[in-house]
Structure 1
């Protein structure tokens, strides 16, 4: 198989999905997914991400709005007419069929003759690193290998869009890391349009060109992994994409889009992000705190935990507790000691005071 020239963009235009009379699963979303990109729908359970994926697949129909794949309006088309493939959380392999038969299954309905079907299936297995496994049964494979068979089965159809529904949730942590890297490599090498659903923030950050963070049936923020991590739009995104300490602060002044803030007597300057003088909040990643700084917020070390590659600390100040990490495992901070905690020049982000979770 060559680079996928069929890869197509996906557009959602004011799409709503309502179950029954009043259960709104997806609420008037607009979304543009570029051809050849891997876009992840990320969010907590019940936020609408899986419903959104299933509407692309045609497994759920939109109540309102339009869904386009390429230039074609597929809103009312059944799944069989959409030219998409889906990799399910459960793999959905046929236990009585060999690996080769599983990968070939969809090709049998696509008009390919036996010779071409066999060639494409063999290429698909080679692509996912399972050359020579064609005669085995799924029960003779590990969980990671079964997942790769499911990916190969979807890839051989050369769909316009490839969909993944929580594809790694059944794998252990080490395999999860390995398989996500393989999925990303295949997607990039073949130029596939991939829409990927997960609730795992680290997984989303690792595989995505762009992440759509969903909350309460809507879209909270869209951006690259770095944009979402370094500049979350609100407290929910700051909390959900990695860990964040939310610290109360006061914006003293704003000049040329730079705010000077005060946190318990400690002054710091950073982008104002449209805020004016008054009460605000600061979102700070645990890695963006400077422990033992010459100038900072006075805090007491309440807990110190060694986790191998780093130390994890719970620190207390007048406004409450924060969580911090340090790679200095050889000289841990003593529990009960008092230190100054500063802020990195890049990383802390101002949020409005009234921003809810």
Structure 2
């Protein structure tokens, strides 16, 4: 089975979706998804990510703007006339049909004869690691296996675009990791264009070529997982992608592209990112705080939690609380202890003041 030749780009041009008179679900977004890439729409509930996905599928129609799949304007086309397949959160398998019958279902409407339908369905099950499971009922499968059947059912239709709507939310943590790796492997091996919706930041970082972070019906930032993690555009993206401590600071001087900042009596030099002297914010990942440093900010340990592979700390500083993670589990800091906390030389990022 080879699908890469059919993979198509998806383009949104000034697309808005309004429900009723004034409920704006998607607000004038422009987006280009490259053919053969896995792009994740990420954001909190109500941000517009699922509505955006459903407009690609044709399950919702844009109020304004244009949507293009490949070289075809699909803005006004119903779902049945778009060459896309969708994998739902709930699997949506027919409980009375066997796995093979479920995977074959859509092929029955596509003009294939029985022999080709059977061969394509068998190839699809092989792709998702379920060879030999064709005679089972969905109830005889685990949640992860049922989700793979749903993926196989979508794959065998050889769509231009494959859509995933929160596909892992019904699985436990171990299965989520396994199935997301399966989805990523299949996408890369077949060169599929995939649009993937989730509210789980770790999931988005793990599977995506590019992430579209959405907030309040609009796009907050677009970038690769590493770019979004290392160079968030604002406080929302910094805190939503991987969690960050937002610390108030003062830029005392800027020289070239480097800024010198003050937090209380502590000073630090880092990229200015276009900011000028004055009030600013510093975003610091919990893993980028150096506990027990020789030079840094004085903080008191308020909470210390052992979670197996690491310690998690809540620390109290003059400007408020911060959250820190340390892999040093054998000699943890004690609650009530006052420690010096330094900043990693690599990651802290300057942002405009709140």
Give TM-score scaled by structure 2 length.
Answer: 0.99
What SS does the aligned partner of 1:21 have?
A: coil
Q: Tell me if the contact between 1:3 and 1:189 (Cα under 8 Å) persists in the aligned partners.
A: no
Q: Tell me if the contact between 1:254 and 1:260 (Cα under 8 Å) persists in the aligned partners.
A: yes
Residues 1-357 of structure 1 correspond to what in structure 2 (within 5 A)? 1-354=1-354
Q: Distance in 2 between matches of 1:263 and 1:151?
A: 51
Q: Distance in 2 between matches of 1:161 and 1:130?
A: 23
Deviations 1:301-343 (A, max 9, x none): 1111111000011111111110001001001012222211111
Q: Distance in 2 between matches of 1:162 and 1:347?
A: 35
Q: Distance in 1 between matches of 2:283 and 2:194?
A: 31
Q: Distance in 1 between matches of 2:344 and 2:137?
A: 53
What SS does the aligned partner of 1:340 have?
A: strand
Q: Distance in 2 between matches of 1:108 and 1:215?
A: 40
Tell me how far 1:274 sits from its aligned partner. Answer: 1.0
What SS does the aligned partner of 1:106 have?
A: helix
Q: Tell me if the contact between 1:125 and 1:149 (Cα under 8 Å) persists in the aligned partners.
A: yes
Q: Tell me if the contact between 1:104 and 1:118 (Cα under 8 Å) persists in the aligned partners.
A: yes
Q: Distance in 2 between matches of 1:13 and 1:317?
A: 46
Tell me how far 1:25 sits from its aligned partner. Answer: 0.3
Q: Distance in 2 between matches of 1:336 and 1:145?
A: 48
Please provide the CA RMSD for this pair: 0.7
Q: Tell me if the contact between 2:3 and 2:158 (Cα under 8 Å) persists in the aligned partners.
A: no
Q: Distance in 2 between matches of 1:269 and 1:245?
A: 18
Q: Distance in 2 between matches of 1:66 and 1:166?
A: 25
Deviations 1:212-263 (A, max 9, x none): 0000000000011111111111111111111110100000001111100001
Tell me how far 1:3 sits from its aligned partner. Answer: 4.5
Give TM-score scaled by structure 1 length.
Answer: 0.98
Q: Tell me if the contact between 2:254 and 2:277 (Cα under 8 Å) persists in the aligned partners.
A: yes
Tell me how far 1:168 sits from its aligned partner. Answer: 0.5
Deviations 1:49-95 (A, max 9, x none): 00000000000000000000011110001111110000001111111
Tell me how far 1:294 sits from its aligned partner. Answer: 1.2
Gaps of at least 5 residues in structure 1 are none
Deviations 1:28-47 (A, max 9, x none): 00001011100000001100
What SS does the aligned partner of 2:350 have?
A: strand
What SS does the aligned partner of 1:170 have?
A: coil
